[in-house]
Chains A and B, each alone.
Chain A
């Protein structure tokens, strides 16, 4: 491992030891942290020799040695913080600036009974038992070093609990805002949907322009029987930032969990989405759109675990690459021996707008049951010449025709976003990033 920079690993281990509030912490949390710290010390940072990381070189993150902000660092006063809020989107809101909860920007008044939306700091006081039962329980203990790092140095996070039978109409917005240079930010989200409940969560990662930092985020979502959970991760980190995230979905009996990975920003981005179809009749939908322009590197790893019978999974990821953009998609589907009548479909399409862009698509099916329906399809290609000519023969000029086809390609996955303001927001960002002459609303 001569290519590694050992200093950063040791600095982080030192930071884990040096936490001055450790002694005051409840025992379950202290134990959780210690286990994670041990895991981090053991696993360290993944290297190019790890099969799961061979296309994504994270050494720039190690070299930069981003450090956690001191606990007493005052959250900045943002004159124009409203510009980070998705236009037209209303609902309860938790806002974290550089990992610290912002009471000023958050909005959690008047929630229906059975709904708890609070920062971890408060959850530790009011909901310690539920937190203890779920935090760190839905992400595997033997995950990669980044997941362990998040837990070991956990600062704060969003606690969202929806009681049995409660259907929350408005989406819950969690905004993780970065404004600090050189910071290691550790956003953490926990969603617990009790039986027969319904909730939509939007995790939004945004940044003040021109800051370089490292977001190491982890989300755990547990859907009990018959729950319906719709989850969005809108990632628009700064163009010099590093973003590594894990989304862990626990799908209960006959529940339906959807997650949308919308990756627009960041310099080096890696997401792991893992869905466990843990009980019969569960259903999960993984949608993803990623954009890699200039020198952006975006790596999406997904794993759907059909652990029990009669579950359904649908996966649809699309990426648009321009400049020297580089993307990786690895979609793993595991169908366990007991998981008969599993129904899994996976599609990944990549559109290359430049010769220098490069996309890798790696479907990986592991099927141990015999009565299953599984399919996958992966494409990497350019704009369709026939379609371009067709549009030009209808009087559209070449540039407009290309923009329209590019936008249409993205739109097929963006159409699955069920919240109109989020869809419009993301479409505008994509249009701007690719300098497309088309923006949302391709109606009349």
Chain B
């Protein structure tokens, strides 16, 4: 599904990603862990097409296409979804309007007819239950005045409505209390399927208690220094990122 080869990226002239190699197959859940400033969020944003970051070398192949040559909206239509670490507030645009515009943009690009209001509402209400989100939030401006937990639920709701092939969750667990974390995780787990892949970006092992990954990668200073199974996350919890980066423990 996703093959990243020797990816280098900078921001404001400063190199942040220094040669990422990663292979994610359909149906898999990969966790990317690492200390602050290691480049986790940069990787997520580069994959989504944020123009603040400049790719200086490397390639990203997504379902046989050159992902880096695609506009952000083309990536979204091709099934790439980024759940933002800091979801943006958009006063004046209702949540439900955005959901509908987004879904219909995806459907149009696939040659599918737009959903009418009734079918769309039925779909949204079904997905709303998945993230235990209050219906009234649909009619409010996007993320405006939402609590931290409501914003993250809203991201997962958008994901559930758009049904992407590759979902990248950028620190979706940050700032969540345990109840919200469980709800959000349950939502993600419900969306796991053989033809969908997840990239979970997180600072803490805690999220991985609820969403069990197939592979865990450790990102330090813009490179993946170790990869392993779930036990790697537990080891990091005990020993910290310092030891993971040291050469003798490198995979």
Contact = CB atoms under 8 A, between A and B. Distances in A.
Contacts of A397: 71, 73, 105
Interface string A382-403: 0010110111111111101100
Interface residues of A, number: 27
B92 A407 contact: yes
Interface stretch (B33-41, B93-101, B221-229): B93-101
B77 A395 contact: yes
B72 interface: yes
B87 A394 contact: no
Given A394-B98, A444-B120, A408 B76 contact: no
B88 A386 contact: yes
Contacts of B91: 408, 412
A23 interface: no
Nearest to A407: B92
A411 interface: yes
B109 interface: yes
> Which bracket fits the contact residues of B?
35 or more
Contacts of B102: 394-396
Contact of A400 (B75, B94, B101, B158): B101
- Identify whether the interface residues of A are mostly helix, strand, loop, or mixed: helix
Nearest to B118: A444
Contact of A395 (B73, B84, B92, B93): B73
A394 B158 contact: yes
Given A395-B77, A395-B102, A396-B102, A390 B96 contact: no
A398 B105 contact: no
B90 A391 contact: yes
Interface in B45-81: 48-51, 71-73, 75-77, 81
Contact of B71 (A394, A398, A404, A408): A398
A208 B72 CA distance: 44
Interface string A58-74: 00000000000000000
B121 A444 contact: yes
A112 interface: no
Contacts, number: 83
A405 B93 contact: yes
A425 interface: no
Given A394-B98, A396-B101, A387 B73 contact: no
A400 B93 CA distance: 13
A377 B244 CA distance: 50
A394 B100 contact: no
B162 interface: yes
Contacts of A386: 88
A328 B228 CA distance: 62
B109 A395 contact: yes
B76 A394 contact: yes
B105 A444 contact: no
Interface in A394-444: 394-398, 400-401, 404-405, 407-412, 415, 442-444
Contacts of B105: 394-397, 400
A442 B50 contact: no
A282 B154 CA distance: 42
A401 B71 CA distance: 13
A392 B76 contact: yes
Contacts of B93: 404-405, 408, 442
A396 B88 CA distance: 15
12 contacts: A389-B50, A392-B71, A392-B72, A393-B48, A393-B82, A393-B84, A395-B76, A395-B109, A397-B73, A408-B90, A442-B94, A444-B96
Given A393-B76, A411-B92, 16 more contacts: A386-B88, A389-B50, A391-B90, A391-B98, A393-B48, A393-B49, A394-B101, A394-B105, A394-B158, A395-B106, A397-B71, A400-B105, A405-B93, A410-B92, A442-B93, A442-B97
